[in-house]
Structure 1
């Protein structure tokens, strides 16, 4: 299965157009959160992605809530947040929001590490773990070199050992690639990232 994955679109129309065009070659498209900006313009952002014909799976970022995303997601789009699904034999589990809690204020959709752990504990197995926040120590460095990722996400990756853990959130680490055990970690960013998975 050929997967196209991205994160942190933040309403960039040119990036959305590139993703829609690339999606013609995808069996599955995955979005790892932050489609709009500070809870504004989510319906417009979904409109930018409406040309994606492949199955589309989204997790919310910290810029939109799971409820907001579910309300405006086009028909047939799957929103995962503390939940999983199977697409053509490929097991997916998703967790959105900023983890740990961000310093951005009331608009940001965040989880504590304990809240994230509780939701991630629902996942017993997955081929692809889709999370907005990166695992602690992997693709989570700010421009100041500070590690701001999630311990709960890292613990879940270590426990589940999916083939891939796809994330975003930390813009300074877009493009990061690493591994935890047999799991490949990718901080995606708003470009076409390609993955091959045998379901």
Structure 2
């Protein structure tokens, strides 16, 4: 006969966690600041930052003469001076674009050597993401709030090093990891994404995604209470509906309307159907925010409107192995 030690029961208030999840900020500084502020505003003790943290472009601000600059904003040329250049930089940052001031010779150098633009982007991205992390640490200083961050397909691999090096216990980079969000409730995270037309940084075949997920799910202690934080939504789930593109990467139309198709991951769908975790959280397809059920699993795509400076998120309360409540929020 073997005696089993009974685990002490955790009081409900201690077992419960409030989580704010957002994704696809794509470099929008105002959205990141709102994300950090959500901890206090919503009373969340955990902030979960989904993938596609970084911007997609660097906008040159070119000095044409002392105190005068020129830059492009959404296809339009803007003439700036010392009074307006900082406002332009902030507008660009809030819209999800990095900026870099440079003289005409430097600008011409990059125009003549497009192969070196990636190095410029990498440098500006690293500097910006580090500044964001320092901002979060300052704003959350003295609070118990934890931030978990995972990448998306648009995030260069270099972002991993920045987040790992500067998180200092406040922000934890969790690609490929399993963490406990609440007692007995684990979360796995990955930014692995199926192949897209855009040839982005973290695209993999369905078999590679399947193997990556299995390595993580095999480590789950209680799969039925687990949370999957996976950037790409499951295939054909209504969370992955996107405009259908032709070979020219232009949106296909029929009878004057956009054609759409499911573009999520088959491997992710299989993992959800087979494991039946409590909850899955996604981003990637900005237009397909919402929630569905797949078997007993609640699946959520939070969506994104980063270009308008609107932060879309979902407020989740979990505890005692259950999803107690959730609510989509925006601001």
Q: Could you state the TM-score of these two structures normalised by the residue count of structure 2?
A: 0.55
Match of 2:175 in 1: 81
**What is the deviation of 1:97?**
2.9
Cα deviation, 1:40-60, whole Å, max 9, x if unaligned, reads: 525524533524552111221
Higher mean C-alpha deviation, range 143-152 or range 40-49: 40-49
Greater fraction of residues in strand:
2
Aligned residue among 264, 288, 308 for 1:149: 264
Check conservation: 2:182, 2:318, Cα contact below 8 A.
no
Match of 1:113 in 2: 206
Match of 1:69 in 2: 159
For 2:49 and 2:127, how far apart are their aligned partners in 1?
15
Aligned residue among 131, 155, 159 for 1:47: 131
Check conservation: 1:117, 1:152, Cα contact below 8 A.
yes
| Closer/same/farther in 2, CA of residues 23 and 47 from structure 1, 3 Å limit | farther
For 1:79 and 1:127, how far apart are their aligned partners in 2?
18
Q: CA RMSD in A?
A: 2.0
For 2:287 and 2:202, how far apart are their aligned partners in 1?
20
| Closer/same/farther in 2, CA of residues 16 and 187 from structure 1, 3 Å limit | same
1:132 has 2:132 as partner: no
Structure showing greater Rg = 2
Aligned residue among 179, 192, 199 for 2:313: 192
| Closer/same/farther in 2, CA of residues 183 and 55 from structure 1, 3 Å limit | same
Match of 2:296 in 1: 182
Match of 1:96 in 2: 191
Higher mean C-alpha deviation, range 78-87 or range 39-48: 39-48
For 2:197 and 2:176, how far apart are their aligned partners in 1?
23
Give the unaligned 5+ runs of structure 2: 1-16, 57-120, 244-258, 304-310, 321-331
Higher mean C-alpha deviation, range 36-45 or range 120-129: 36-45
| Closer/same/farther in 2, CA of residues 46 and 161 from structure 1, 3 Å limit | farther
Greater fraction of residues in helix:
2
Determine helix, strand or coil for the equivalent of 1:142. strand
Check conservation: 1:69, 1:79, Cα contact below 8 A.
no
The 5 Å alignment of 1:8-27 reads: 8-24=24-40, 25-27=43-45
Determine helix, strand or coil for the equivalent of 1:155. helix
**What is the deviation of 1:35?**
0.4
Determine helix, strand or coil for the equivalent of 1:3. strand
For 1:43 and 1:109, how far apart are their aligned partners in 2?
21
Moved over 6 A (4+): none
| Closer/same/farther in 2, CA of residues 149 and 88 from structure 1, 3 Å limit | same
**What is the deviation of 1:168?**
0.4
Check conservation: 1:102, 1:108, Cα contact below 8 A.
no
